[in-house]
Structure 1
Amino acid sequence: MMKLVSNSIRNYHYHYAEIGLRLGWLSRKKNHMSTTTVVTAGKGIEKERVDCVVIGAGVVGISIARHLSLKLGRNVLVIESGSTFGTVTSSRNSQVIHAGIYYPPNSLKACLCVRGRRLLYDYCKEHGIPHKQTGKLIIASRNEEVSKLNYLLHRGNENGVEGLKMMEGSEAMAMEPELQCLRALWSPTSGIIDSHSLMLSQMGEAESHGTMFCYNNTVVGAHLEGNQMCLHISETESLQNWDTKSQWPPDIVLLPKLVVNSSGLSSASLARRFSGINHGVIPQSYYARGCYFSLSNTVPPFKHLIYPIPEDGGLGVHVTLDLDGQVKFGPDVEWLNEIDDISSIQNKFDYTVCADRAKKFYPEIRKYYPSLKDGSLQPGYAGIRPKLSGPGEGFADFIIQGEEFHGIPGLVNLFGIESPGLTASMAIAEHVATKVPRI
């Protein structure tokens, strides 16, 4: 029997209300249902009518659910395959609030990052979310990198990033005595955030406006009946033996007015299992694994974020601080191959950090931190980035598709929501709301 689990979270503290309920529970939950009728489908599968379904309880999915319930008055059900919220990309990143420097002008990444940063800082101040506007130095370690730094300054100014300043190496090294560089670009609006506290706060707001979070359940596909999307939901635990070829019989079918596919790493894989969608509008998925190492046995050498010139697939092995001032380095870039759709949907990625990878970190870090001692890097954690461009293919923007792209009423797909997804999350929620059909 599938169980629906709700977490009620108030005042940034866990208050778990685990409710083991039968499938008929949804039909009695009138604030989430547009009808109380239970229809029996073929093979005894029940169907339930709901208002909105958000797939994925990461930082972006939570922000979307909050916006839909708080700003639009919609009744939202968030379906999450994991046992709690924010366990995948949302908890496996640098926790950085980006300024909006790196992205082409007028791209979604540029516009939503700049808008999202402002919204995020305002939200953090209003709700007491731990954060710090540390500022960031993007540094050139070699002469050939200086032109790239000038290019980033120009791009950041085009994107409306405030306070950018080019520095001589001596000025940057006066700010950070352990740093070595030729020149640096100073970004005062960059910072760090406790994303877990952010998610707790936004979940509390969403739940207080009627949103229900349902964990340990996976969307395994969908089909169309006329213009009605029918979402197939199964208990996550039952999917252990699911192969890559068969259609998995769902435990329940939901009939929502609105579906937001915000499932992160599995968004494209899941969309390909929506019967009736034009597969030509679904982008190719690429996955880049990145490892972090923490600095041990030393006083933290830096007070600001330190970033090298961006590299293929990422922003380089950079210095990130946590809110206690501890230093970590990463991520690197390791392109993953042969990830099938089912493995993606079930989050069957390897997050192990091999200690031997530190051998590649030391020379990269010593380009700007020459005093780094042997043996001072300890394995931290790893994350996977859902990318829309492969090795050497350059920039790929966020893709946020409504009916105008795929022709399915009430479906919004989010693809390639990697960095700066955390920074842009509240702006992404605003953007998704513009694609939501009015009721």
Structure 2
Amino acid sequence: MERVDCVVIGAGVVGLAIARALALAGREVLILEAEAAIGTGTSARNSEVIHAGIHYPQGSLKARLCVAGRAALYAFCARAGVEHRRCGKLIVASDEGQRDGLDRICQHALANGVNDLALLDQAQLHALEPDLHAVAGLLSPSTGIIDSHGLMLALQGDAQAHGALLALRAPVTAIACEDAGLVIEVGGDAPMRLHASTLVNSAGHGAPALAARMHGLAPQHVPQAWYAKGSYFSLSTRTPFRHLVYPLPEPGGLGVHLTLDLAGRARFGPDVEWVDGLDYRLDPTRADRFYAAIRRYWPALPDHALQPAYSGIRPKISGPGQPNADFRIDGPAEHGIAGLVNLFGIESPGLTSSLAIGDHVCALLELTEPLAA
């Protein structure tokens, strides 16, 4: 049986950021990825937005790690040459009845440490975005967009430059938590049996199922997995907008919002559809529901202008009708197993938070100082 220091399971953006943080801390790191390439799951199927940290519950991991991660991510992108743009976001009230919602969002954001929001009246909104229909809005100048694959390649490069190794087509089939460490069975092209002193389960959608197969981890430490599908539709015409545009949040998500890619193309989504598993097929008829939602803030959206783009599935640990769960990052203090960290429910703002999540995992393993609450 081969002995390794640290094993990170999952080579999405969060797994790669954790592997980088561990490698920078001087640990020997092996990344195990079940697929044939990095970042083929949630990391490849999202809005590619750098979030400011506005909406998450005060004091939550989502709020703290998003705010810290956003600052770290902008600095990393500038240093590593990852393509990104700080384009800003507008959260809009489509009618007078939503004005109070904007005030609540602004106060909540301030409590989270997001202190750069600007409340705009109708004339100020029109000056920024003449085609936008709204009575008031909030400008978030620190919201941006990013090349997520470029980010993952940069994280991988940094990790490997500090000694980390990546094994693709290496699915983990079994884990035993023993007093002397963690024993990991790996299948795929080159089956192996590993003994590790540290194991980080960053398997995304598969993290709860993988934890359930860990011999020695009590069942109460394994949450139920839920799947919230979001469909995206692209705009077939040229967009008149330069900012991201978000309606007020809705249950389960942030509403059907307009995002831009780095080439300036517009797409809308995601919506929320609870599903039983990882089925990424996109139903074109879901666009019918998008038109009414979008026309609340952009009445001039042409008929038949939405084209199917792609779908993503949020790796949730809270289901329909339940309050949105926080990130769950369980270290030895939670489950009592030395060297083990399980990450569950790392949905949005996981990409924005990725570097801060890496630091947080290192703190749980007592490699760095913890992030202040």
Fold conserved between structures, TM > 0.5: yes
Q: Which runs of structure 2 are paired with 1:309-388 in the superposition (5 Å)?
A: 309-337=248-276, 339=277, 349-388=278-317
In the alignment, structure 1 residue 78 sits paired with structure 2 residue 31: yes
Unaligned runs of 5+ in 1: 1-46, 237-249, 340-348
**1:195-215 deviations in Å (ceiling 9; x for gaps):** 111111111111111111101
After TM superposition, the score normalised by the length of structure 1 is 0.82
In the alignment, structure 1 residue 51 sits paired with structure 2 residue 5: yes
| DSSP 3-state at the match of 2:364 | coil
In the alignment, structure 1 residue 156 sits paired with structure 2 residue 109: yes
Query: Following TM superposition, by how much is the alpha carbon of 1:392 offset from its aligned partner in structure 2, in angstroms?
Result: 2.0
Contact 1:227 1:409 in 2 (8 A): no
In the alignment, structure 1 residue 291 sits paired with structure 2 residue 231: yes
| DSSP 3-state at the match of 2:359 | helix
1:419 match: 348
Contact 2:174 2:214 in 1 (8 A): yes
1:172 match: 125
Q: Which runs of structure 2 are paired with 1:21-420 in the superposition (5 Å)?
A: 47-70=1-24, 72-235=25-188, 251-296=191-236, 298-337=237-276, 339=277, 349-420=278-349
Query: Following TM superposition, by how much is the alpha carbon of 1:142 offset from its aligned partner in structure 2, in angstroms?
Result: 2.7
2:371 match: none
Contact 1:410 1:437 in 2 (8 A): no
| DSSP 3-state at the match of 1:178 | coil
Greater Rg by CA: 1
1:26 match: none
| DSSP 3-state at the match of 1:101 | coil
Q: Percent identity?
A: 50
**1:231-255 deviations in Å (ceiling 9; x for gaps):** 121117xxxxxxxxxxxxx932211
| DSSP 3-state at the match of 2:183 | strand
Query: Following TM superposition, by how much is the alpha carbon of 1:262 offset from its aligned partner in structure 2, in angstroms?
Result: 0.5
Contact 1:179 1:368 in 2 (8 A): yes
Cα distance in 2, alignment partners of residues 398 and 214 from structure 1: 26
Cα distance in 1, alignment partners of residues 288 and 238 from structure 2: 22
| DSSP 3-state at the match of 1:61 | helix
Query: Following TM superposition, by how much is the alpha carbon of 1:147 offset from its aligned partner in structure 2, in angstroms?
Result: 1.7
Higher RCO (CA < 8 A, seq sep 6+): 2
**1:167-226 deviations in Å (ceiling 9; x for gaps):** 112311221111111211111110001111111111111111111110111112211333
Number of residue pairs the alignment of both structures matches: 368
The RMSD of aligned alpha carbons is: 1.5
Which letter does structure 1 place at the counterpart of 2:22?
L
Query: Following TM superposition, by how much is the alpha carbon of 1:437 offset from its aligned partner in structure 2, in angstroms?
Result: 5.1
Cα distance in 1, alignment partners of residues 55 and 15 from structure 2: 24
After TM superposition, the score normalised by the length of structure 2 is 0.96
Cα distance in 2, alignment partners of residues 115 and 67 from structure 1: 15
Q: Indicate the larger mover: 361-370 or 136-145.
A: 136-145
Contact 1:112 1:424 in 2 (8 A): yes
Which letter does structure 2 place at the counterpart of 1:411?
L
